[in-house]
Copies of this chain bind each other. A is one copy, B any other.
Amino acid sequence: MRMPANWFPGLTLVLVLALAWHPAPGAEDTAHKPLVTADVLAASKPSDWRPLDPQNTLYLELAGGRVVIELAPRFAPRHIENIRTLVRERYFDGVPIVRVQDDFVVQWNDPEGSRPLRSAEHAVPAEFMSAARGIPFTLLPDPDTYAPIVGFSDDFPTGRDPKTGRAWLVHCYGMVGAGRGNDVDSGNGAELYVVIGQAPRQLDRNITLVGRVVQGMELLSALPRGAGDLGFYAKAEQRVPITSVRLAAELPAAERLPLEVLRTDTPTFADLVESRRNRRDEWYKVPAGRIDVCNVPLPVRMRPGTASAH
């Protein structure tokens, strides 16, 4: 075990430095602020965590287990309303994963295109960008290759352009988007994809992102890669069936997973980011001093005191 942790192992606090990322509002006693990721999370308060909204939570069931997706309705309200309709009308039950392209995406859709959309829209106008005004935003201070500024809104990674006043979700690992044809307004949420490699940021502002995987990512990322063009499975029998997709709100409350995400508008999150910009466990010798928006962990946990259903 000679490689460092990418997450939070039992790390040792080596340096207690008051190198605040940016002044964390409400952070008291910076001299004793925990600066290793595991310590930051251990010191978090219940109010630092936000339960998932059952109306914005999808349970995608595979033979291997459950994938949980959190939807981002502020950025893609029309696509998400259509996805909710598709889910309620059981459009996705039995739809297969048809494409796994290494270092790019996992994608599912009706391969024959014969499944009726029923009361869902056939085409939803593009939701590539939103007006930034009024959207909460926690700035990440480091330069980004693709966007003028980056940070977090509603606990999703986002980019912004102060000149145009636009904001958009960005294509990090685990982000979920809605496929479209060449017409920008041709997507409808019936075809979805999940990023499984290096962030394909060239897709930003070209396609509608609708959310992110918050649990079960490894059930998608470890699927066999498709040998056909663009990573499509060459043979129909290689496709991976989705048993069902449900909105958490469709399940009785007792059957919903008590998942919580760390709020990105908290001092705890600012500490977390700083703990990742400058690693302080003994293994690291040269702290990066910077972090890419897609390298910032967005922690998810089961609400403490609940039995793990997974």
Show the binding face of A for B, using Cβ within 8 Å.
1-7, 9, 99-105, 107, 109, 128, 142-146, 172-174, 179-182, 184, 186-187, 191, 193, 197-207, 217-218, 221-225, 229-230, 232, 276, 279, 282-288, 290-292, 294-295
Contacts and interface: CB of A to CB of B under 8 A. Distances in A.
A132 B282 CA distance: 28
Given A100-B222, A182-B283, A199-B292, 9 more contacts: A2-B109, A3-B99, A3-B105, A102-B221, A142-B145, A144-B145, A145-B145, A146-B288, A198-B295
Prevailing SS type, chain A contact patch: loop
18 contacts: A1-B230, A1-B232, A2-B179, A3-B193, A3-B207, A6-B103, A6-B230, A9-B229, A102-B217, A143-B143, A145-B145, A145-B292, A182-B282, A197-B221, A199-B292, A200-B295, A206-B284, A206-B286
Given A179-B3, A201-B292, A206 B285 contact: yes
Contacts of A7: 101, 230
Given A3-B230, A222-B225, A172 B187 contact: no
A198 B3 contact: no
A135 to B, nearest CB: 19
Most B-side CB within 10 Å, residue of A103, A186, A206, A276 = A103
A201 B2 contact: no
A149 to B, nearest CB: 12
A146 B290 contact: yes
A284 B203 CA distance: 8
A236 to B, nearest CB: 15
